[in-house]
Amino acid sequence: MCDRIYMDHAATTPMDPEVLEVMRSVASARYGNASSVYLEGRKSREIVAHAREQVAALLHAQAEEIYFTSGGTESDNWVIQGIAKKSPRGRILVSAIEHPAIRRTAMAMAEADVPVTFLPTLADGRVAVDALEAALSEAVSLVSVMWANNETGVLQPIGEIASLCRARGIPMHSDAVQACGTVAVDVRDTVDYLSLSGHKLYGPRGIGALYMRKGRELPPLLYGGHQQDGLRPGTENLQAIAGLGKACEIAQIHMEERAAHMLVLRERLLAGLRAGIPDLCVFGSLTSRLPGNLAVAIPGLRSESLLLQLDLEGIAASGGSACNSGSMEPSHVLTAMGIAPSLALDMVRLTLGKDTTQEEIDRVISVMTALAGQRA
């Protein structure tokens, strides 16, 4: 059997062997509960503290501003539900292209009568800053705009939005799950809350973090023990925390070279696909975008069918549509960008990783070109 080609790094990334090694040694040697007062507990606390430093360093934050969670979904829920609980009458502004961890949480808050506004998006996949600015008022309790979109990879104008929010004293959150570890994410002078996830940056699954700026507050999402100042209780998942810390440290060291590598290959991929498939559609800005993302459509070739055929050819990729009551629905991200549903249903997302090779890219180009040529 020929080797598989993994083109779905936005879904999850393979764990870095160095991360696995750290986790293995922590899991086998550090069994103390990080809350215990004796030596074993203190050793475990040191591991948590070190990982907190590593995560903070990636974001240019302070260690005490980092809370470990079970992943991006929990971090997102904590912020949206926490703000809604704190100010039930305050309006929450979220972009129309958020991941379901924000989108569905915001919808659930709206059902509970919390005012929520979904902000429009431009055709290039970036949030419409003018519309956002017009929606800012004293009644707004939170603005949440993702750092980079998970379907198109489009980088959002976070600096611009953050300065609008800061000028008005409005708290801002960003779901940076896709961006962290791939592009520079700096919380200084930008956001007040930020979500990240271990498994998107070659770390473990089921672990993530929430950055909360000093001076900002959130009620806990979970109630329990006094861990993490009682704000995120539960016995610390020591090996996962250590793994997340290591993954952040590695990502910080190698970020630029990894990004440059992915960008060269993505450009090769795009050029090759365009040459072989003249009617190829590309979604979202190509300049303000994560280096490893290419969201495209071969018009008339449904993504479900293309993905199945790619899988048979040894290529793993994904689409943006969701199955709802047995029928396919176009992605809410592409719909918000004004893409016609019939074309949106053809979208496939190819996401490269740090270890993607030129040979893999060339194979993807030739397989996709051949499949496009077989269209009825």
What is the binding site for ligand PLP (CB under 6 A)? Answer: 71-73, 76, 99, 101, 146, 150, 175, 177-178, 197, 208
d(CA 180, CA 195): 9
| CB 141, min distance to ligand PLP, A | 21
Query: Both tokens of residue 252?
Result: 């910080």
| Closer residue to ligand PLP in complex, CB, 117/182 | 182
Query: Both tokens of residue 160?
Result: 């611009």
| Closer residue to ligand PLP in complex, CB, 117/178 | 178
Q: Pick the catalytic residue: 2, 248, 281, 323?
A: 323
| Closer residue to ligand PLP in complex, CB, 44/351 | 351
| CB 363, min distance to ligand PLP, A | 26
Give the residue from 132, 128, 130 showing the smallest Cα distance to 143.
132
d(CA 85, CA 15): 36
| CB 75, min distance to ligand PLP, A | 8
Residue type, 86: K
| Closer residue to ligand PLP in complex, CB, 350/365 | 350
Answer yes or no: 281 catalytic: no
Measured CA distances, 43 to 27, 34, 52 (Å): 13, 8, 14
| CB 211, min distance to ligand PLP, A | 14
The string of DSSP letters for 202-247 reads: TS-SS-EEEEE-TT-----SS--SSGGGGTS-S---HHHHHHHHHH
Strands 172-175 and 327-329: unpaired
Helix H or strand E segment including 80? helix 72-86
| CB 105, min distance to ligand PLP, A | 11
| Closer residue to ligand PLP in complex, CB, 128/240 | 240
Residues 369 and 277: beta-carbon distance below 8 Å: yes
* Position with the least CB separation from ligand PLP: 72
| Closer residue to ligand PLP in complex, CB, 74/236 | 74
Give the residue from 322, 319, 314 showing the smallest Cα distance to 347.
319
| CB 36, min distance to ligand PLP, A | 28
Residues 97 and 332: beta-carbon distance below 8 Å: yes
Residues with Cβ within 8 Å of residue 296, at least 6 apart in sequence: 273, 280, 281, 282, 283, 347, 348, 350
Q: Counting every residue, how long is the chain? A: 376
Active site residues: 323
